[in-house]
Amino acid sequence: MHIPIIYEDDDIIVIDKPAGLIVHPTNRKEKNTLVDFLINKCPEIKAVGDAPERPGIVHRLDENTSGLMVIAKNQETFGRLKEQFQNRKVEKKYLALVIGKLKDKKGIITKAIGRSRKKGIKQTIAPIVPRKEAITEYRVLKEYENYSMIEAAPKTGRMHQIRIHMASIGHPIAGDEKYKFKRQICPKELNRQFLHAYSLRFQMPDGIIKEFHSKLPDDLNKVLKNI
């Protein structure tokens, strides 16, 4: 599999995850995951982390979300990165194409997220217990006839957070099959949710702040040209 490596040293690997790639196996049948790639490239990473099925993994992206991820190559770095994510010191920014035009061109969504009892939907803002605090900042970058390009910056790391939050204010992400509305329009040739993690900023083990960026993938650029 071809996974672009943005940066690598003795402590970390920063990769640009393509859409359609699962980060780690959730059952024994899943193969060709990001973890398989990492173990093949750096066998020593198998001993890093909290769980053998997630070696070196300190954060995740959905299967059909593309973009930047940082992976720890040793246990000390794993602990430091994990602490930064838990304490909200890592800055993550995403590009997303959402349905419609937003009344508020920038804002902060603060809606707790928990698991849904409905079959096929894993997460929801519905009032069930327990729920976890979730915060997403957004701003509109460009408007199209039926869509808006936004930058979303999650301040917490809940599963499907940006997807759920944007749907909760009436502007689901284009191409999102799980949280879409009925009769929702979808751009031609868009075969996944239009969500890309394009910016990642965190502190290295030596204390230096590093910031990485990723360009919008070709498949999403093609969609923008068509609309």
Instruction: Tell me which of 3.30.420.40, 3.30.2350.10, 3.40.605.10, 3.20.20.70 is the CATH number of domain 1-87.
Output: 3.30.2350.10
- The second-level CATH assignment, the architecture, of 92-196+216-227 is 2-Layer Sandwich (3.30)
Residue by residue, pLDDT tens for the chain (227 residues) are 689 999 999 999 999 999 999 998 776 566 789 999 999 999 999 999 998 889 999 999 999 999 999 999 999 999 999 999 999 999 999 999 999 999 999 999 999 998 766 544 455 554 444 668 899 999 999 999 999 999 999 999 899 999 999 999 999 999 999 998 888 888 989 999 999 999 999 999 889 999 999 999 999 999 999 99
Query: Using CB atoms within 10 A of its CB, is residue 43 exposed (0-12), middle (13-18) or buried (19+)?
Result: exposed
Where in the chain are all domains bearing CATH 3.30.2350.10? 1-87, 92-196+216-227
The pTM (predicted TM-score) of the whole model is: 0.91
**Residues annotated as part of the active site:** 62
Residue 202: which of 50, 88, 108 has the closest Cα? 88
Give the helix/strand (H/E) hosting 77.
Answer: helix 75-86
